[in-house]
């Protein structure tokens, strides 16, 4: 039987509550994604391996947790042990090549700036730091990995990209199409580290980065579909991660909409570890976040419209019924939760650790939701399983398991009963964190601060920390012991310190 094409649509910093499949009262409008979810298996309990871009993306491509990829924070920041994705036989692209798949890629990368550091702005900044005596990236002076370095055809967009708006390829596209990118109503008084930058795009939709990379996806798939082999294509949007540059057409949908205050917006910071202060905006009221969310929703609706364009292309070219579609994101976003938190990382609330994830089989499917735990590593394993890859070494599917079994059955027999998100921080401030969820309990290990323990059944907004609750100590101890077992099984490098701090199990190094 002919293998199916596989299309991965990946968004960045995408809150699950923007989608109606997770939140029936969602204010954000995403009709094209909604249509896809009705034909898909939707995972209600999908978690990122890390609520930071580079670490999560490294898990997608390598199939293991960030503690193993070495990318535990964003590239070229403190705490990141590997600044360029290492080209190994276990990479998703290299394994797909072994089973005959053609590979295509466009959009955000953030797994390296490439070997030629002088060819892009982020690379030049790294070289400048080396000249000032910073040695952490010296080993990567002549080494780097971009998509075309590891088997993909398509586009190389080095580094983070700041929304993708400044890349020379995009600027050349605008020039070739005789388009001018025009924006008004820019955000003001943005301080270093603030994460709410917005503007209104008044030029045509064709002048936006979202339109451009969707067109690139169509053009590259046009090339791939002519080949004899099936293809895997990855379309990586930079949004709805800031900057929130929202086209007028979509901003008008939310301009006058009242967005209710997040239930945890007024939560006292005393309830939270001090490190969370790095993400707080105590000087603003809810109107600030209401404005950022209007732009955030508008950006998401614009992405949805581009996904609609892509689906129209697949249907017009007889590819829709021959392509498995996987939709996911690298991590979520705070945007006003828990005392005015902004951005992501440090906090391990569901706002940032949960991710949207659904799979539409090539043959179509009467959609349903699945409560089984799923992780970024499982996406890696699922893509390989769909492609017919059979592991031939001890690495297997890494830290993941294929989710393909849930396409045929809702049965969770034998499936994992727990899930973990790792963290090391951001902004050049390192702090080891682990989120461990088992059933409706969530335990957060904050290596340099107070731990957290939540009963999500009674406290879905995670505002009642039970870490000191006497009546929960037996349950907490069992959770910690089970987490230590998970760390042993998955080779988590933080296990010894975790056990020693908590005086549980064998903590001798």
Phi, psi of 419 (to 5 degrees): -150, 150
| pLDDT for the residue 288 | 95
Cα–Cα distance measured from residue 122 to residue 160, given in angstroms and rounded to the nearest whole number = 8
The topology (CATH level 3) of 5-427 is Alkaline Phosphatase, subunit A (3.40.720)
Q: What is the pLDDT of residue 448?
A: 81
User: CA-to-CA distance for 449 and 274, rounded, in angstroms?
Assistant: 7
Decide: 102 and 135 in contact? Cβ < 8 Å: no
Identify the CA nearest to 179 among candidates 212, 216, 215: 212
Estimate the crossing angle of helix 473-490 against helix 495-502, to 10 degrees: 160
- Domain 428-509: state its class: alpha beta
pLDDT at 316: 98
Query: What is the model's pLDDT at position 334?
Result: 95
Residue 184 near residue 200, CB atoms below 8 Å: yes
Q: What is the pLDDT of residue 1?
A: 65
- pLDDT tens-digit series, residues 352-389: 999 999 999 998 776 889 999 999 999 999 999 999 99
Residue ranges per structural domain of the chain? 5-427, 428-509
Identify which of 418, 367, 375, 431 has the alpha carbon closest to the alpha carbon of residue 398.
375
Q: What is the pLDDT of residue 509?
A: 43
Phi, psi torsion values for 215, nearest 5 degrees? -65, -40
Output b/e per residue, 40-78; b: 16+ Cβ within 10 A.
bbbbebbbbbbbbbbbbbbbbbbbbbbbbbbbbbbbbbe
Instruction: List, run by run, the mean pLDDT of 10-residue segments along the chain (509 residues).
Output: 92 98 97 96 98 98 97 94 96 98 98 94 92 90 96 97 96 98 91 87 98 98 96 98 97 96 92 88 93 97 98 97 97 95 94 97 84 98 97 93 91 94 91 97 93 97 96 96 96 93 71
What tens digit of pLDDT does each residue of 161-214 get? Answer: 999 999 999 999 999 999 999 999 999 877 777 889 999 999 999 999 999 999
Let me know if the fold of 5-427 is the same as that of 428-509.
Answer: no
* pLDDT for position 332: 97
CA-CA distance, 206 to 222, in Å (whole number)? 19
Report the pLDDT value the prediction gives residue 363, as an integer from 0 to 100: 81
């Amino acid at each position: 039987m002919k293998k199916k094409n596989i299309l991965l649509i990946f968004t960045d910093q995408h809150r699950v509550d923007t989608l109606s499949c997770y939140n029936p009262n969602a204010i954000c409008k995403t009709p094209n994604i909604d249509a896809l979810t009705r034909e898909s298996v939707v995972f209600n309990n999908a978690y990122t391996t890390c609520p930071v871009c580079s670490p999560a993306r490294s898990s997608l491509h390598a199939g293991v947790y960030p503690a193993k990829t070495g990318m535990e924070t964003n590239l070229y920041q403190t705490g990141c042990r590997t600044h360029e994705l290492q080209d190994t036989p276990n990479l998703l692209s290299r394994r797909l090549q072994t089973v005959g798949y053609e590979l295509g890629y466009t959009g955000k990368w953030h797994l390296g700036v490439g070997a030629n550091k002088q060819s892009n702005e982020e690379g030049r900044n790294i070289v400048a730091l080396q000249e000032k005596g910073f040695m952490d990236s010296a080993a990567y002076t002549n080494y780097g990995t971009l998509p075309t370095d590891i088997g993909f055809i398509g586009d190389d967009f080095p580094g983070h990209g700041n929304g993708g708006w400044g890349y020379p390829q995009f600027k050349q596209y605008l020039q070739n199409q005789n388009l001018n990118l025009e924006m008004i109503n820019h955000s003001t008084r943005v301080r270093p580290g603030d994460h709410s930058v917005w503007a209104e795009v008044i030029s045509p939709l064709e002048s936006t980065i979202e339109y451009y990379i969707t067109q690139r996806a169509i053009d590259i798939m046009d090339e791939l579909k002519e080949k004899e082999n099936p293809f895997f294509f990855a379309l990586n949007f930079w949004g709805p991660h800031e900057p929130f540059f929202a086209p007028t057409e979509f901003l008008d949908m939310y301009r006058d909409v009242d967005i209710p205050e997040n239930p945890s917006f007024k939560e006292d910071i005393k309830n939270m570890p001090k490190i969370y202060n790095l993400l707080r905006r105590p000087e603003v009221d809810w109107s600030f976040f209401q404005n950022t969310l209007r732009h955030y929703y508008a950006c998401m609706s614009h992405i949805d419209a581009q996904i609609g364009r892509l689906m129209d292309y697949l249907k017009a070219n007889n590819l829709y019924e021959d392509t498995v579609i996987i939709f996911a994101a690298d991590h979520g976003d705070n945007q006003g939760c828990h005392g005015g938190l902004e951005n992501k990382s440090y906090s391990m609330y569901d706002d940032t650790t949960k991710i949207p994830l659904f799979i539409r089989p090539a043959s179509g499917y009467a959609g349903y939701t699945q409560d089984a735990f799923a992780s970024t590593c499982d996406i890696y394993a699922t893509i390989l399983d769909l492609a017919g890859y059979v592991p031939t070494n001890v690495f297997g599917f890494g830290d993941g398991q294929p989710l393909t079994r849930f396409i045929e059955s809702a049965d969770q027999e034998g499936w994992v009963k727990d899930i973990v998100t790792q963290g090391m921080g951001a902004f050049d401030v390192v702090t080891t964190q682990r989120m461990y969820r088992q059933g409706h309990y969530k335990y957060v290990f904050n290596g340099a601060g107070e731990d957290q323990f939540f009963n999500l059944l009674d406290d879905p907004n995670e505002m009642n920390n039970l870490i000191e609750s006497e009546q929960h100590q037996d349950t907490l101890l069992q959770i910690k012991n089970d987490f230590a077992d998970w760390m042993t099984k998955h080779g988590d490098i933080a296990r010894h310190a975790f056990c020693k701090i908590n005086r549980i199990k064998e903590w001798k190094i």
